[in-house]
Structure 1
Amino acid sequence: MLLLSIAISALAVGLISLALIIALKNKHTAEIDAISQQLKESSEQTHILRSEVSELRTGLLSIGKRVLEVEQQNQDLIQQQAAQKYDDPDAKIYSRAVKMVELGAELDEVIRECELPRAEAELLFSLHKQKGA
């Protein structure tokens, strides 16, 4: 009888242990499933983020190219303006007249040499006096 009660006790302990093992296995399986789901979601999110970064990179490269083009156009315009400044015959006449005024030429001499109307020559003289004052 003692042997039978030991056997029953051993069987009960075995069944309880088996139940605990099954419960732990189910718990671990649920945890593994949850972690697998998180891994899948993280992988999908990583894929989405990589494609967004790629799109941003492409957009930035396009913007960078456009900025370089605009800067080049700006430099071309600056050069064209500078060239026009020296190609304008009227600008040369006025530059010469201003130089003559700065060197102390008389009003009539500036009018005659630069073929400027009297009013314009007087204006140049007036402006030169204001700068000198």
Structure 2
Amino acid sequence: MLLLSIAIAALAIALISLALIVALKNNQAAELNAMSQQLKDTSEQTHILRSEVSELRTGLLSIGKRVLEVEQQNQDLIQQQAAQKYDDPDAKIYSRAVKMVELGADLDEVIRECELPRAEAELLFSLHKQKDA
């Protein structure tokens, strides 16, 4: 009878152990499913982020090209403006008159050499004096 009691106790312990093992296995399976779902969600999110980064990169390249075009247009305009400055005969006269004033020529000399009206020559002199002050 003692043997039967021991066998029943051993069987009960085995059944309890088996139940614990099944419960642990189910718990691990649930955790594995949760981790698998989390990995799937993270993978989808990574894919979306990569697409967005690619779109941003494309947009930045487009903006960069546009900026380069605008800079080139700006340089072209600066060159055209500089060329017009030197092509204009009146601008040459005024540039020469300003240079003469800076070098210390007197009013009559500037009027005579640059063929400027007295009022314009006086204006150049007054502007030059303001710049020096």
Query: How much identity, in percent, do the aligned residues show?
Result: 86
Amino acid at match of 2:105: G
Alignment deviations for residues 34-90 of structure 1 (CA, whole Å, 9 cap, x no partner): 111111111111111111111111111111111111111111111111111111110
Amino acid at match of 1:104: A
Structure 1 residue aligned with 2:90: 90
Does 2:105 correspond to 1:104?
Answer: yes
Structure 2 residue aligned with 1:63: 63
State the distance in 2 between where 1:8 and 1:132 align. 116
Instruction: Give the length in aligned residue pairs.
Output: 132
Structure 2 residue aligned with 1:54: 54
Give the deviation of 1:105 after TM superposition: 4.9
State the distance in 1 between where 2:14 and 2:129 align. 117
TM-score (norm: length of structure 1): 0.84
State the distance in 1 between where 2:13 and 2:105 align. 123
State the distance in 2 between where 1:126 and 1:33 align. 88
State the distance in 2 between where 1:51 and 1:131 align. 59
Does 2:13 correspond to 1:13?
Answer: yes
> Where does structure 1 differ by over 6 angstroms across 4 or more consecutive aligned residues?
none
TM-score (norm: length of structure 2): 0.84
State the distance in 2 between where 1:130 and 1:35 align. 79
Structure 2 residue aligned with 1:22: 22
* RMSD of equivalent CA atoms: 2.1
Question: Could you say if the C-alpha distance between residues 19 and 105 of structure 1 is closer, same or farther in structure 2, counting changes exceeding 3 Å?
Answer: same
State the distance in 1 between where 2:60 and 2:7 align. 77
